[in-house]
Amino acid sequence: MRVRRESGFTLVELLIVVSIIMIIAAMAVPNFMRARLAANEASAVSSCRTLNTAELTYFVFYQRGYTSTLAQLGPPASGPATAVAADLIDVILAGGQKSGYVFNYTPLGPASGPYNNYSLQANPAVLDGTGTRYFYTDPSGVIRLNAGGAAGPSSSALH
């Protein structure tokens, strides 16, 4: 008689493979999280540059000063671009939040406008979850950062 032998993996072999996979995952996840934070911060800086360019374009094209809200830089619901919806930035950025950062726009000048200045802060939506640094910009076009809290005019400039 022939003895038929079952083929397959033993429980010990499966446990070793699962353990190796868990060790690799434990090393990879923190690196992935750091990469995601860096990508969110790079996106926030890029969005600040985009908003500075859009504000300058709005200022020159419409000759009304700067906008009163970020939504004015966004696309119109229908029809051509106007001073109310200039179609200079995408709808997501016009909503004030993108890639884990919240953009706080404040027009400065006379209460009723036209606004001759503005400040823009980019703050992480979840500190240490979506970003670790805060960014600030104004019509000067210089983007400043502060790793410890909300950035403002006196924060260090990015180069």
What DSSP state is assigned to residue 87? -
Give the least confident one: 13-22, 23-32, 107-116, 145-154: 145-154
The amino acid sitting at 129 is G
* 159 pLDDT above the threshold of 60: no
73 with 86: CB under 8 angstroms? yes
Residues in Cβ contact with 93 at an 8 Å cutoff, skipping those fewer than 6 apart: 47, 50, 51, 70, 73, 74, 103
Query: What pLDDT is attached to residue 111?
Result: 84
Residues with Cβ within 8 Å of residue 104, at least 6 apart in sequence: 96, 120, 121, 122, 123
Query: Is residue 157 predicted with pLDDT exceeding 70?
Result: no
Instruction: Report the mean per-residue pLDDT for the chain.
Output: 91
Cα–Cα distance between 41 and 29 in angstroms, integer?
19
Residue 10 has pLDDT above 50, yes or no: yes
Element (H, E) at 75: none
Q: Which candidate, 59, 71, 39, 86, places its Cα nearest to that of 141? A: 59
pLDDT of 149 reads 73
Residue 65 reports pLDDT greater than 60: yes
